[in-house]
Amino acid sequence: MIPYAKQNITEDDIEAAVDVLKSDWLTQGPSVQKFEQRVSDYVGAKYSTAVNSATSALHISCLALGVQKGDWVWTSPNTFVASANCAIYCGANIDFIDINLKTFNIDIQSLVKKLEYAKKNKILPKVIIPVHFSGQPCDMSKIHELSKIYKFKIIEDASHAIGAKYNDIGKKFCKIGSCKHSDITVFSFHPVKIITTAEGGIATTNNKEINNKLKIFRTNGVTRDKKLMVNKSKEKWYYEQVELGYNYRMNDLQAAIGCKQIERLDKYVSARHKIADTYKEGLNKLDINLPYQERGNFSSFHLYVITFKNESSQKIIYNKLQKLGIGVNVHYIPVHTQPYYKKMGFRFGDFPKSENYYKRALSLPMYPTLSKNEQDYVIDCVAKSLK
């Protein structure tokens, strides 16, 4: 079976993990800080907080921005449930912005309309969580501009998008994670993502106060930093719990693997682009839509999503390809149509573009070690299945 995604673990990664196992520190040792520094350096952000998953990173990001009961948080319906759940964890209300049918990211015009409406009704969101779907960056400069007018904060869910960049209006490429147009960016290191630490995630920011909060929420609300304490103690052992935090720590095994993985990040992303080129060449004569690339955007190509012209094709082609040994998948079932969210009052029809997209989408295998033969096999099978 050719899966839709697959991690790449090298001898280097294994050696790094073994070194940690032989060392004195399995967790809270030197590797986590080292990994945080590597990620910060790579994306060009001042601070990083590594945690045990992107889900945890999204949760503490909401907490660090003060999301609480009564607040509104908006995100895309075309995402993994974690992008919405993080708001619910904080007791906030969630709402969605429908997607653009070219990029499958939140649609800017819909966002503007929704903000206007929310302003009139005094229900403006405290935080918006744009999701860089499949690795294609959202229009961050526009969203940032809107955040100044409507006074919301921004957490980028870049679980798909480490290694992606966008053009900041004629200037140099802007790396996802640099937080040039957001408060926080979150990455996932789950094995299906661009680089992996088995489980893991990170939150990057340029704001020192936000970073302090992220670190405190990661470690049970406890700090050893005298400047962040309520009581001033001179005792060396003294620590203080100042918030209700969690144990969301990344361990040193994960971080050591991450340090090696990030060295190969650019290689991985260019391999993904090569595969995308091969797919494009092999599939562009078929009666299907191929991923649209926004001009000036550089996707990390976490997913390669084809969309059919009509809804009846998806299930048929999915089944045919699965039978041929190709582990195609569908990303995503719109979050608002999940039973949990329907109980909150959301319905089919609320975000029609995301629903329409979902019924026509299929993710083809996409990972750096997918061989040329396998790519050709996928192309052949897709062509055959469409006949």
Binding site for ligand PLP (CB under 6 A): 53-55, 79-80, 82-83, 131, 157, 159-160, 188, 190, 201
Beta bridge partners of 127: 73, 153
Residue 201 or 381: the one with the smaller Cβ distance to ligand PLP is 201
Nearer to ligand PLP, 48 or 313 (CB): 48
d(CA 184, CA 203): 6
Distance CA 333, CA 239 (A): 44
Query: Whole-number minimum distance, CB 199 to ligand PLP, in Å?
Result: 6
Smallest separation (angstroms) from ligand PLP to the CB of 343: 21
Phi-psi region of 70 (alpha: psi -120 to 50; beta: other; left: phi over 0): left
Give the residue with the Cβ less far from ligand PLP, 108 or 198.
198
Q: Which is nearer to ligand PLP, 58 or 115 (CB)?
A: 58
**CA-based radius of gyration for the chain:** 21
Q: What is the per-residue burial (b if ≥16 Cβ within 10 Å, else e) of 52-72?
A: bbbbbbbbbbbbbbebeeebb
For ligand PLP, which is the closer residue by CB, 31 or 188? 188
At 155 the three-state DSSP class reads strand
Closer CB to ligand PLP, 195 or 210, in the complex: 195
CB of 48 to ligand PLP, least distance (A): 15
Residue 233, SS3? Answer: coil
The 3-state secondary structure of 373-387 reads HHHHHHHHHHHHHHC
Asked whether 258 and 10 are in contact (CB, 8 A), the reply is no
Q: How far is the CB of 289 from ligand PLP (least distance, A)?
A: 21
CB 39 within 8 A of CB 50: yes
The nearest distance, CB 188 to ligand PLP, in angstroms, is: 4
| Smallest separation (angstroms) from ligand PLP to the CB of 81 | 8
